[in-house]
Amino acid sequence: MDNLEIQTKIEQLRKDLNDHNYAYYVLNTPTISDYNFDILLKELEALEEQYPQFADSNSPTKRVGGDLTKKFQTQKHSSPMLSLANSYSQEEIIEWVARCQKILGESSEFVCELKYDGVAIAIQYRNGQLFQALTRGDGEKGEDVTINVRTIRSIPLTLKGDFPLNFEIRGEIFMPKKRFEELNKIRELQGEGLFANPRNTASGTLKMLDSREVASRGLDCYLYGIQGFQSSEKGHYQTVFLAKNWGFKVPDYAKRMIEKTTNIEGVMDFIDYWSHNKFHLPFEIDGVVLKVNDYAQQQLLGITAKSPRWAIAYKFKTERVETLLNSVSFQVGRTGAITPVANLAPVQLGGTTVKRASLHNADQIEKLDLCQGDVVLVEKGGEIIPKIVGVNTSLRKSQIRIPFIENCPQCNTLLIRKEGEAQHYCPNELGCPTQLKGKIMHFISRMALNIDGLGEETVELMFDKQLIKNPLDLYSLRFDQIISLDRMAEKSANNLLKSIELSKKIPFERVLFGMGIRYVGQTVAKKLAKAFQNIESLKDADLEQLLAVEEIGEKIAHSILNYFEQAHHIELIRGLQKEGLQFELEEKSKDSNKLEGKSCVISGTFETFSREEIKELIERNGGKLASSVSSKTDYLVAGSNIGPSKMQKATDLGVTLLSENQFIQLISQ
Ligand code: IVH
């Protein structure tokens, strides 16, 4: 193929992929199987790699992320991002409608929209290409999060149809409820703290420095306003639907997500409908937004200092109900953490029946001053996880405080609570049946060793029959032992054995995750595996080496050190190694051995590379990273604004100082 043919081929592939993407993420009507989509994407990836002269930052291959950002740049908005006047009462809405009519002196059309509960975004398009995406920031200036916005599949990278050459579209980025629940389920499994609500998660995700991670989080976006071009249409409603033809995801008329009305009854009907039906939406809304449709009328109404007079938000009140606290039970997690759970008299809240609510820890119970038989106030934090926010003390019948248990409800061991920690723990790691079973469940879970055909019930059964007491025992299970279990068919037994065998091929990072080290979730396991390559180096790592790994702080580092200090963990690892599990990352091509055996520290900021890139270069050339300068340090790679005391210390200890350029020279000689 000559250059022109290659370029044509690349462009055709991009167009096809964009069209399939649009059909899937915006129209919800897939036009190709996932498998065939991946084949096309891989073909494009290969061509782009082979012919970098045709690279394009808006290629569909950029949807998966990959680039790391040092820091987001601040940019000025094309026009200020205003906020909306809020109202919580229907009277205020009636007043707002009357005020609009009075100023306009004529009737007007109102557009009723959902108020998406996420993060505002302003996206500029130039010549049909996504150019820049800014967060709201302070309204005047926002952060440039373009790289992350590119990973959101429902936001077009390249427009279609008859789009204006330069314009800005504004909307809300959010995390669908289902994704939020999935993410939290994974975090729970990993023993990590749960995300509070979809809005915070969306906002945190959008500002992550690793765009690949953003791509995996499943953000979504609805657009609600277009700026900066003279629409041939004379109203907001019509323009929004015009943008649909350019490839944007806009609210669905048929689903009543957007409506036009000329009277207050229509407005009230919309408010009423969504305050009752919001729970059925796949994403969260915190109210509805009312806008005067006609652009000329909008201009007449004008804006105040902060918000337009032509729009208003009606916000739903957070739903709160009272119910009776029946009892408090205490759950034991796989790491031994004790979580108190309130058992409530069933009550309707936010579209579901709530029977239980987490009480988090002993401090929370104390803060609420919870007594037996109290009437408690329950709210849905972020509409999903119910929480107890208070007690109706006027209905209090008993002064008996809810005591926190002293012994493990499963094995009766005395609980411990470490200094500075909120959680109580059962320390009987080797004897507490709930912890042992929990550890096996975690080990076999999909993201870890993915051993199929072993549900909670079967694990329980095997545990009770003393066939397994830890993950290693799985590998000596025999067919006759499995088939002897209740309701176990021959085929299932064989499948289970097959699945156990297959788990020996699972890569190191997932085995590491499966070991269930406290605070070592999937992401941390990945970072550890990459930094240390194998279990031996990780086991021998000291605090400093652990802290040098990105995202590893004191808490995680100490938990890792503590894990490897325990002989039974080493015994488990040795056993699993004997069975043939992967405890080493597959050999990745190294750039060189120029830093082999050298301990490097980096400090300051760099010009050509980000800190993460420098770290990666050190590792790819055989070097080891440490967090601070010591007598063992060989090189201090010093960027600009490095502190003088650090420089002095390095000089005193005879550590070789390298500037960014010297470092690059050293590894590229
Ligand atoms: S219009 C001039 N429409 O609510 C104001 N905003 O303070 C332009 N929001 O963070 C905003 N859904 O991101 C508008 N359908 C909708 C919206 C919406 C959510 C957010 C917006 C901003 C806040 C308003």
Q: How far apart are the CA of 83 and the centre of ligand 1, in A?
A: 7
Distance CA 506, CA 248 (A): 40
- pLDDT averaged over the chain? 90
* pLDDT (mean) for 604-615: 77
- pLDDT for the residue numbered 648: 84
Distance CA 319, CA 182 (A): 24
pTM, two decimals, is: 0.63
Atom of ligand 1 nearest to the CA of 308: 2
Band (pLDDT 50/70/90 cuts) for residue 616 is: confident
Q: What pLDDT, in 10s, does the model give residues 221-274?
A: 999 999 877 677 789 999 999 999 999 999 998 899 999 999 999 999 999 999
Domain with CATH 1.10.287.610 in the chain: 3-62
Decide if pLDDT at 98 tops 60.
Answer: yes
Q: What pLDDT, in 10s, does the model give residues 418-450?
A: 888 889 999 999 999 999 999 999 999 988 998
CATH superfamily of domain region 599-668: BRCT domain (3.40.50.10190)
CATH for 320-395, among 1.10.357.10, 2.40.50.140, 1.10.510.10, 2.60.120.10? 2.40.50.140
Mutate to test the pocket of ligand 1, among 77, 81, 84 (most ligand atoms within 8 A of CB): 84
Distance CA 103, CA 36 (A): 57
Is-contact 116 175, C-beta < 8 A?
Answer: no
The contacts of residue 648 (CB under 8 Å, 6+ apart) are none
The three-state secondary structure class of 648 is helix
Active site residue ranges: 115
203 in contact with ligand 1, CB cutoff 6 A: no
Distance CA 136, CA 141 (A): 7
Decide if pLDDT at 399 tops 70.
Answer: yes
- pLDDT for the residue numbered 522: 83
- pLDDT for the residue numbered 269: 95
Tokens of 285: 């809304």
Minimum mean pLDDT among 78-82, 84-88, 418-422: which range? Answer: 418-422
Distance CA 230, CA 82 (A): 20
Distance CA 444, CA 439 (A): 9
Domain with CATH 2.40.50.140 in the chain: 320-395
* pLDDT (mean) for 534-553: 92
497 in contact with ligand 1, CB cutoff 6 A: no
Q: Whose CA is nearest to atom 17 of ligand 1?
A: 115
Which CATH number is 433-578 given?
1.10.150.20
Q: Name which residue leads in pLDDT, 144 or 590.
A: 144
Question: For the chain, how many residues are written?
Answer: 669
Long-range Cβ contacts of 30-37 (<8 Å, 24+ apart): none
Strand 656-659 and strand 635-638: the pairing is: parallel
Mutate to test the pocket of ligand 1, among 79, 135, 220, 224 (most ligand atoms within 8 A of CB): 224
Name the architecture of domain 3-62. Answer: Orthogonal Bundle (1.10)
Beta bridge partners, 452, equal none
Q: How far apart are the CA of 84 and the centre of ligand 1, in A?
A: 6
Top-ranked range on mean pLDDT: pick from 213-217, 419-423, 501-505, 579-583: 579-583
82 in contact with ligand 1, CB cutoff 6 A: yes
- pLDDT for the residue numbered 126: 95
Decide if pLDDT at 192 tops 70.
Answer: no
Atom of ligand 1 nearest to the CA of 307: 2
Q: What pLDDT, in 10s, does the model give residues 549-573?
A: 877 888 899 999 999 999 999 999 9
Atom of ligand 1 nearest to the CA of 121: 13
* Packing angle of the helix pair 567-578, 554-565 (nearest 10 deg): 80
* pLDDT (mean) for 399-427: 93
- pLDDT for the residue numbered 383: 46
Q: Whose CA is nearest to atom 16 of ligand 1?
A: 115
Is-contact 198 204, C-beta < 8 A?
Answer: no
Q: Name which residue leads in pLDDT, 649 or 190.
A: 649
Q: What pLDDT, in 10s, does the model give residues 473-528?
A: 999 999 999 999 988 899 999 999 999 998 998 889 999 999 999 889 888 898 99
Decide if pLDDT at 639 tops 70.
Answer: yes
- pLDDT for the residue numbered 583: 96
Decide if pLDDT at 374 tops 60.
Answer: yes
Backbone φ, ψ for residue 143 (5° rounding): -90, 140
Q: How far apart are the CA of 322 and the centre of ligand 1, in A?
A: 32
Domain with CATH 3.40.50.10190 in the chain: 599-668
Q: How far apart are the CA of 587 and the centre of ligand 1, in A?
A: 50
DSSP-derived secondary structure for 111-144: EEEEEE-SEEEEEEEETTEEEEEEE-TTSSEEEB
Distance CA 346, CA 325 (A): 10
Taking Cα atoms as reference points, which of 432, 383, 389 lies closest to residue 177?
A: 383
Strand 311-315 and strand 86-87: the pairing is: parallel
Is-contact 633 640, C-beta < 8 A?
Answer: no
Q: How far apart are the CA of 225 and the centre of ligand 1, in A?
A: 9
Band (pLDDT 50/70/90 cuts) for residue 49 is: confident
Distance CA 599, CA 633 (A): 5
- pLDDT for the residue numbered 10: 94
Distance CA 402, CA 362 (A): 10
Q: How far apart are the CA of 351 and the centre of ligand 1, in A?
A: 25
- pLDDT for the residue numbered 342: 95
- The secondary structure of residue 604, as a DSSP letter, is S
482 in contact with ligand 1, CB cutoff 6 A: no
Domain with CATH 1.10.150.20 in the chain: 433-578
Is-contact 288 115, C-beta < 8 A?
Answer: yes
- The secondary structure of residue 194, as a DSSP letter, is P
Name the architecture of domain 74-315. Answer: 2-Layer Sandwich (3.30)
Q: Whose CA is nearest to atom 3 of ligand 1?
A: 224
Taking Cα atoms as reference points, which of 607, 660, 605 lies closest to residue 635?
A: 660
